[in-house]
Each structure stands twice: as structure tokens, then as C-alpha cells.
Amino acid sequence: MEPEMEATRRRLQLLYESDRLLGLRDWPVGSPGTSTARSTIQQAAGEDAPAMSKKVAKSSPGTPREHVSAPVKRNSADSGLDNRVKLLIEQFPPEIEPPGIDPQGRPDLLVSARYALKGSPVDVVKLKVEALARQFEQVKQCQRCGLYNQGCKQKVFGVGHPDTRIVFVGEAPGADEDRIGYPFMGRAGKLLTAMVEKGMKLRREHVYICNVVKCRPPENRTPTTDEITACQDHLWAQLTVIEPEIIVSLGSPATQTLLSTRDSIGRLRGQFFEIHLSGSDLTGGPVAKCLPTYHPAYLLRNPDDKKKVWEDLKKVIAEMGIPGSA
């Protein structure tokens, strides 16, 4: 098999494996091209290389993504992992797919595989899933600040692809997030989804989304400095595992925490800052680029500033080299 074709086959295998592992099988059945794409993925995960080559040759980066219902394959080696990662898999809510997104507007399978998986081995994805699942267990037990018993229903850890290139960090869970257990689920969450999916042409489940603070502050108030200080180690631990290239900080608390500054979001937004992922001391560890922008909840109150956020996101798109975005 030609090297390029072999690489393509490998990428499809990675995508298939990670989707199967992470439960990302929410693609609707019956969309145009379903059967072709399904058989392509099945072949990528199994045999029939010549047929695979033929189909892959038709597909190229930038063509519309075909929607697939990939089959669930299980083997005995999965069973131990299944138990360990069950908690994290549960973090993929079925309702995150927003209505009204044009499936033809998304990147194709190969582009998705490239930016979602970075060509990393499936083992790396599995290790990251396991590490995040362990962290989630620790967060569930956390009583470092008073927020754990001030009316919140549950800890809201984070959601998304564990080996993504891009992480969005917000402030704290609100009422919807507290009720459902996932970050950015209300009106602000819908806006963030639109920013990610319509604007950046990424799938929401291929990015990672979390907050600085994991428990809902009473009455949705802004978390205090003490609460942020108590909780930020959980965030740094998440970021250290995921090791994204880009972090988009949404609003002042997230930005000020990640950049360890008191400067306003209005002054900082739209610029890249290099940050070390090892923690708030800003030394050591892998480096990511952080781009602050306005929080979607702020945009709901100040829609005129959506243009500024779109300008910011275009910088992120350019930095990531995402093709086919508006």
C-alpha cells in the first residue's frame, strides 16, 4: 500500500477507535452518504484494503463530512478499560448536538481525524481518558472550598475530547450545568456551540470544555478569589493531561486565572499569551497558547461584541491551520 494511503487508513482507524472508545457515535443515520462512509470506516478498522483505497481516494480534506453510524465493536481487551473510563464516557451528553447545524458545513472525516487526534496513538487517547477519569473521581470528593455544600447538585468536571488541540475554559457552572452535570449547557452553552461548530467548523465533542470552578456558586454569583484559588489546581491538572496547543479563556475569571493577572478581559482579549501547563506558578511543563475572549454569557447581554469575538476566533482558526472555516 502506498505510504499516503497507509497514513490515511491509519487516521481513519484512529478516528474509529477513539469514537468507539469515547462513545462519540451520535452521528445521525440516514444522512446522505451514510452507507459509503460507514463502509469506509468499517474497512479502515478491519480488512479489505483495496476497497478502502478506492473509497479514500475519493475523499479529500475540505470535502463535506459524511455522517455515519459506526458499529460498536467490543473485544475482551476492552472490558477492563470500559469500567475505568465509564465515568468519563458518561460525560458525553447526547443532547450536546445542537439543532440546525448544517452537517454539510463540517470538515470531512480526514480533517476531523487530523485535528482531533493529532495522529497520536490510540494508546495515548486511552491514557488521557483514564487520567481524566481519575481526576474526576478526586473532584467528586473535593471539599477544598465551601462551594461543595452551598446548594450545588453535583461537580461539573468537563466534557470533550481528551486529546484535543483546543480547550475552552469558562468561569463556573450555572443552573443548567449544575442540573445536567456538563459545562456550557444553557443559552450561553448554545452560543458557545454555535461559535465552535458554525464559526470554527469543529465538532463540539472534538474540543474540550471546562470551567475554572467545578461547583456552582449560589445564585450564579462570580466565584471569589479564594474559591478560584482553591479550585484552580483541578483545572491545571486537566490541562496538563490534555496538553492542548490552544486554550481559549472565556471571560475575566478564566483569563485572570490562566494568565495569573488582574488585567481586564477588555485589555487582554484577542492576543495570544504563552502559558505553562504545570500550574499557577507559570513555570515548567508543556506550553500552550492562551487567547482570551469574551464569555458567551456576556455576549448574550452585549450582542454587538460578537464581532470582536469572531475576530478573536479567526485568529485561533489561523493559528490551528483549520481548513474550510468561514
Binding site for ligand SF4 (CB under 6 A): 139, 142-145, 147-148, 155, 213-215, 227, 230-231, 234
Rounded to the nearest whole angstrom, what is the least distance from the CB of residue 175 to ligand SF4 in the complex?
16
Rounded to the nearest whole angstrom, what is the least distance from the CB of residue 171 to ligand SF4 in the complex?
12
Rounded to the nearest whole angstrom, what is the least distance from the CB of residue 12 to ligand SF4 in the complex?
38
Instruction: Give the residue from 208, 180, 179 showing the smallest Cα distance to 192.
Output: 208
Rounded to the nearest whole angstrom, what is the least distance from the CB of residue 142 to ligand SF4 in the complex?
3
3-class DSSP assignment, residue 266: helix
Instruction: Give the residue from 87, 76, 8, 74 showing the smallest Cα distance to 43.
Output: 8
Rounded to the nearest whole angstrom, what is the least distance from the CB of residue 148 to ligand SF4 in the complex?
4
Distance CA 137, CA 77 (A): 23
Instruction: Give the residue from 276, 326, 275, 324 showing the smallest Cα distance to 115.
Output: 324
Q: Are strands 273-276 and 246-250 parallel, antiparallel or unpaired?
A: unpaired
Q: What is the largest CA-CA distance in the chain?
A: 61
Distance CA 206, CA 203 (A): 5
Which one, 109 or 215, has the nearer CB to ligand SF4? 215
Q: What cell numbers appear for 268 in the block?
A: 487582554
Q: What cell numbers appear for 298 in the block?
A: 456576556
Rounded to the nearest whole angstrom, what is the least distance from the CB of residue 155 to ligand SF4 in the complex?
6
Give the dihedral of Cα atoms 94, 96, 102, 107; nearest 10 deg: -90
Which one, 125 or 235, has the nearer CB to ligand SF4? 235
Rounded to the nearest whole angstrom, what is the least distance from the CB of residue 151 to ligand SF4 in the complex?
12
Rounded to the nearest whole angstrom, what is the least distance from the CB of residue 96 to ligand SF4 in the complex?
22
Distance CA 69, CA 32 (A): 12
Cα dist from 225 to 104, 141, 222, 277, whole Å: 44, 21, 9, 20
Distance CA 58, CA 156 (A): 42
**Whole-angstrom distance between the N-terminal and C-terminal Cα of the chain?**
35
- Identify residue 120 by its one-letter amino acid code: S
Distance CA 30, CA 41 (A): 16
Rounded to the nearest whole angstrom, what is the least distance from the CB of residue 275 to ligand SF4 in the complex?
20
**Torsion angles phi and psi, residue 308, rounded to 5:** -65, -40
